[in-house]
Amino acid sequence: DTEVTQTPKHLVMGMTNKKSLKCEQHMGHRAMYWYKQKAKKPPELMFVYSYEKLSINESVPSRFSPECPNSSLLNLHLHALQPEDSALYLCASSPGLAGVAGELFFGEGSRLTVL
Amino acid sequence: KQEVTQIPAALSVPEGENLVLNCSFTDSAIYNLQWFRQDPGKGLTSLLLIQSSQREQTSGRLNASLDKSSGRSTLYIAASQPGDSATYLCADGSSNTGKLIFGQGTTLQVKP
């Protein structure tokens, strides 16, 4: 099973709302990622978790707050977002840190619209 | 700064044609390169991961090659079908931090 599951598939929120995106994998992977993708652009890395510890934060604004409750789950908490944050948010996982430690698998994404 | 380039940005071919998608990278010490497919509004699907020691990887009608000396990887699609229409991205996976370096992608349209 090479599946990364993301919920919800679509999310519409106002600028004062608090919401969360969720991601789950059962492949035993020890690295998990959040990416942001705008239309017609490649994914941009936001956060990397390795063995449940945050290893990379690509200078992401604090209105995005990641959480890794256990090795299978990854959350992205959203608060006071701006309309320009509207994008496709992709979760991914890999056996170790992607690249030297294995293949990267993506979920289907959560389409976020901020009004 | 390592960079990955994919040219052309878009490609349209008739069904049945064999085609090659190109990916250039500046990382002379590249460890591996991964090819992905993305359908509109969907996530990325991993197609092939090719290690620098392998030079080639095959999956069905797809064949990926990697040439470190020239800084190029190619994705060969045999007997293209309309279902192959998608955006294809390549990514340099050499970082030990988990960060992949993506190309801008090539959007392929296969016409019936």
Is there a contact between B98 and A97 if contact means CB atoms under 8 Å apart? yes
Does the pLDDT value for residue A1 go beyond 70? no
Contact B21, B4 (CB under 8 A): no
Strands (E), B17-85: 19-25, 32-38, 44-51, 56-59, 62-67, 72-77
Confidence category of residue A101, pLDDT binned at 50, 70, 90 = low
pLDDT at A102: 81
Residue % of chain B over a pLDDT of 70: 100
Please name the member of A6, A103, A109 whose beta carbon is closest to the beta carbon of B34: A103
Q: Is the pLDDT of residue A84 over 70?
A: yes
Mutate to test the interface with B, among A50, A68, A97 (most CBs of B within 10 A): A97
* Strand bridging mode B101-102 / B72-77: unpaired
Per mean pLDDT, which range of A37-51, A57-71, A93-107, B52-66 is the poorest?
A93-107
Q: Mean of the pLDDT values across residues A47-53?
A: 95
Mean pLDDT of chain B: 94
Q: Is residue B29 over pLDDT 70?
A: yes
Predicted pLDDT of residue A2: 65
Mean pLDDT of A55-80: 96
State the Cα–Cα distance between residues B76 and B55, nearest whole angstrom.
13
> A41 contacts in B (CB within 8 Å)?
104
Helix, strand, or coil (residue B84) = helix
| Residue A97's pLDDT band (cuts 50, 70, 90) | confident
Interval B50-68 mean pLDDT? 93
Given pLDDT bands bounded at 50, 70 and 90, which one contains residue B55? confident
The minimum CA-CA distance between B34 and chain A, rounded to whole Å, is 8
Residues in A touching B44 (Cβ below 8 Å): 43, 90, 92, 106
pLDDT of residue B106 exceeding 70, the answer is: yes
pLDDT at residue A100 is higher than 90: no
* Nearest partner of A75 among A20, A16, A11, judged by Cα: A20
DSSP code string of A56-105: EE-S--TTEEEEEEETTEEEEEEES--GGG-EEEEEEEESSSTBTTB--E
Which residues of B make CB contacts under 8 Å with A?
Answer: 31-32, 34, 36, 41-46, 49, 89, 91-100, 102-105
